[in-house]
Amino acid sequence: YYGGNEFIDMMETLCQERALGAFHLDGNIWGVNVQPLSGSPANFEVYTALLNPHDRIM
């Protein structure tokens, strides 16, 4: 739908694998939803990943 979604899909899969691994869960039995509820939390996740503490957003 949007250009670049294949990279988002790869990141989603990686996050799911890491979440399952963190709790030593079998991916054939358990599932993990790592998708944000809406655009605002998604933006916040990106900002907190890329910005340093006390950086300013205008």
**Whose structure tokens read 């900002």?**
47
Token representation of residue 26: 């079998």
Q: Are 17 and 28 in contact (CB under 8 A)?
A: no
In angstroms, the CA 34 to CA 15 distance is 7
**What is the model's pTM?**
0.67
pLDDT at position 41 is 87
CA distances from 42 to 10, 20, 39, 46, 48 (A): 16, 21, 5, 6, 10
* Tens-digit pLDDT profile for residues 3-57: 888 888 999 999 999 999 999 999 999 999 998 888 888 888 889 899 999 998 8
